[in-house]
Chains A and B, each alone.
Chain A
Amino acid sequence: MISAYYFGAISLILIGLYAVLVKKNILKILIGLSIMETGVNLLLISIGYVSGRSAPILSEGIGPLQAVDPIPQALVLTAIVIGVATTAMALSVAIILYEKYGTLNIEEIRRLRG
């Protein structure tokens, strides 16, 4: 039986992918990208999870053997920052596109671009 975490994370990725592949509105595509990114982050975190252990912060009674894997957490921290940066940039591109073409539909933009 596949774990609910994996199932949920992969479902999020697929939903995001669906939006990227099929939707025509740029904002919806960007939303799809964000959802995908969230799904990836969740997947990474859930890979590092070991059932019954606590957060990897060394303190009273919690040694390296009682904590979950810390590497995916560091990875995800980086990925979140990158994700936010790319989303911000994509959004600014979307604003410029709207100013230039007056529409957010990508097929319309392609047609106008010629």
Chain B
Amino acid sequence: MNELLLIVFSPLIAGVIAWVIRIRGVREGIGILGALIPLLGLIKAYPSLDHGIKATITVGGFEIGFLLSHMSWVFSMIAVVVGFSATLGMVTTARDNYEWLFALMSLTGVLGVFLAQDLVTFFISWEIMTFASFMMVFKFNRQASLKYFLLSIIGAYAMLIAIGVIYAKTGSFAFSEISAFFRKDAMMAMLGGQPAFSRFDTALVYLLFLVAFGVKAGMFPLHVWAPDAYSETDQSYTAMFSGVLSKAGVYGFILLYILMYGKLMVSLGQFRGAPLFGYIIAFLGGLTIMVGGVLAALQEDIRKLFAYSSISQLGYILVGLGIGTSLGIEAAIYHAISHALFKGLFFLIVATLIYRTGKTEFKDFGGLAEKMPYTFAMAFIAILSLAGIPPLVGFASKWLIFEAVISQNLPILGGMVFFGSAIGFVYLIRFTYAVWFGQRPSDIENTKDAPLPLAIAMGILGALNVIFGIAPGIVARELNKLFNSQVIGGNIWELDLGFGRYNALLVTIWLVIGLLIAAILYFLGASVRKVPVTDTYQSGNPVTMDYNLTIRRNFFLPLKEAVEFWLRISFDKLYRDVWKSIEDFAETARNYIYNGNVQAYAWYLAIILLILAIMGV
């Protein structure tokens, strides 16, 4: 068996075996093995990347082809590393065979998406991924899964139509041939010839792909499924769902660039010095950052907070992609890696918290840092990484995106990106304080630290957050190979863009020195006094319950009041209204036409016969 096929299909096979074997212990082992084989396979395949590894199977007359290139290797590595960690977490949190089957099936789907070499394979893998993740949500919450499914179906149909249009004109499904065709077509249009794809066709294909990939990436205003779907499933699986499956949408956008960048540029023109089509993606990405960030700050449920935060962070990736310079795309892929690392870590932490305490709302937490020191350390890494504090991977990638935006002179996008970073602090400070510090409610007094599988899974992701943070050049070097040029310069400790540089090692050293000084000062003579939480907030005055803004409850009520007008414009509600009115319309039409009157039916028959007679049938 070809090693590429082994990489793609071993999770699925392991999932099926784990589903059939219902013995506890054995099924976990098989599940982990199924996630481990692709990881080892990809690492083993790394030296032979330069030639590209191919594999094809024929199913029902269709060639299903996989190709491992540098680009797909990077994305597949994200998938298997986070997927493996999530699988480890599932050893603790998964409740039955069903979850093992579909979690591993979605891993196969996403690997298929990343490794596909033609549109048919891409689409089939895409659907396997959607189906498996839908089944995971379906088990926990039907309402949420239905919303996810409906939007995914809209996206899938959009993609299918786009693929149909492309195939009708180019006669090929293979990426390489389509890409060559579009390049020739763009040349033709530039020289004033008659291109195969008119302006309208190009815009149509672009819009359809925008919908298809936008749904999966959680792009505003198609993000409404994500908060529900991410929060209403096994939280270990969500680490993979939010960390990896959303990257399929990102990969789709990159694919759009690979296939038809020149053509889109020529056909759709420019806006503010950036290609228009890219600017649309970037602008929607910017809106995604802001909407996701503000909504994350207003949540009272940890799972919801991180779901919205995940949407917000996806916005950065879209901004980077939309800018479309080689720096922007590298920054976006970098952020895709770091987002998968820290968001996977976050959801594993949430899984641990829920597993140990059984609670999900901020008001039930508090003071867990003493009881769960290891999980707290991991949470601290994840918080610093998401907020973009220097020696962690989140800073390196966000910094690259900022630089990419600034270097292209895009002030509006710049404002959105900076706003998103600020709001990131706003919601993270709440998670930090409300869960880990302050007074501990008496019913979670006896909470134990993370169980071993979850601890190992968190350890893997936490260590990678730190390693890639201190040595950002490891990732940058890999990304430079995608463009075959030195887009991000510097060595493994330092990123050098020519107009700005960031030395992670230096920052780390200074940070450690600073912490040492602080520690010395603390132990030498700081006078420490324990203060009850309520005292610091209330200043000794009694506060009425309806305006009790402690960090655990309604902390951002003033923010909510400030943005109240904007909150009323909710796309979630809009979609629900549209759905409702379609239902109402159909119901009325049905009652009116099928009224149970035999004579009315006779009239319909007579009218149809008359129409047919007039048409001369």
* Residue among A21, A29, A106, A110 making CB contact with B603, cutoff 8 Å: A21
Distance between B599 CB and nearest chain A CB, rounded to angstroms: 6
Distance between A105 CB and nearest chain B CB, rounded to angstroms: 12
> Is B596 close to A, CB under 8 A?
yes
Q: For residue B602, which residues in chain A have a CB less than 8 angstroms away from its CB?
A: 20-21
* Chain B residue, CB-CB nearest to A29: B599
> Is A15 close to B, CB under 8 A?
no
- Please measure, in the bound complex, the distance between the C-alpha atom of A22 and the C-alpha atom of B603, giving whole angstroms: 9
The contact sample of 14 A-B pairs, CB cut-off 8 A, is A17-B606, A20-B599, A20-B602, A21-B599, A21-B602, A21-B603, A21-B606, A22-B599, A29-B599, A106-B597, A106-B598, A106-B599, A110-B596, A110-B597
Distance between B594 CB and nearest chain A CB, rounded to angstroms: 13
- Please measure, in the bound complex, the distance between the C-alpha atom of A110 and the C-alpha atom of B599, giving whole angstroms: 11
Q: Which chain B residues (69-116) contact chain A, with CB distance < 8 Å?
A: none
Q: Which chain A residues (68-114) contact chain B, with CB distance < 8 Å?
A: 106, 110
* Chain A residue, CB-CB nearest to B596: A110
Q: For residue B598, which residues in chain A have a CB less than 8 angstroms away from its CB?
A: 106
Q: For residue A110, which residues in chain B have a CB less than 8 angstroms away from its CB?
A: 596-597
- Please measure, in the bound complex, the distance between the C-alpha atom of A21 and the C-alpha atom of B596, giving whole angstroms: 14
- Please measure, in the bound complex, the distance between the C-alpha atom of A29 and the C-alpha atom of B602, giving whole angstroms: 11
Q: For residue B599, which residues in chain A have a CB less than 8 angstroms away from its CB?
A: 20-22, 29, 106
Distance between B229 CB and nearest chain A CB, rounded to angstroms: 44
Q: For residue B596, which residues in chain A have a CB less than 8 angstroms away from its CB?
A: 110
- Please measure, in the bound complex, the distance between the C-alpha atom of A106 and the C-alpha atom of B598, giving whole angstroms: 9
**B-facing mask of A7-22, CB < 8 A → 1, else 0?**
0000000000100111
* Chain A residue, CB-CB nearest to B595: A110
Q: Which chain A residues (8-47) contact chain B, with CB distance < 8 Å?
A: 17, 20-22, 29
- Please measure, in the bound complex, the distance between the C-alpha atom of A29 and the C-alpha atom of B596, giving whole angstroms: 17
Q: Which 10 A-B pairs have the closest CB atoms?
A: A20-B602, A21-B602, A21-B603, A21-B599, A17-B606, A21-B606, A110-B597, A110-B596, A106-B599, A106-B598
Distance between A91 CB and nearest chain B CB, rounded to angstroms: 16
Q: For residue A29, which residues in chain B have a CB less than 8 angstroms away from its CB?
A: 599
Q: For residue A21, which residues in chain B have a CB less than 8 angstroms away from its CB?
A: 599, 602-603, 606
| Residue of B597, B599, B602, B603 ringed by the most chain A CB atoms within 10 A | B599
Known contacts A29-B599, A106-B597, A110-B597; 7 additional CB pairs below 8 A are: A20-B599, A20-B602, A21-B599, A21-B603, A22-B599, A106-B598, A110-B596
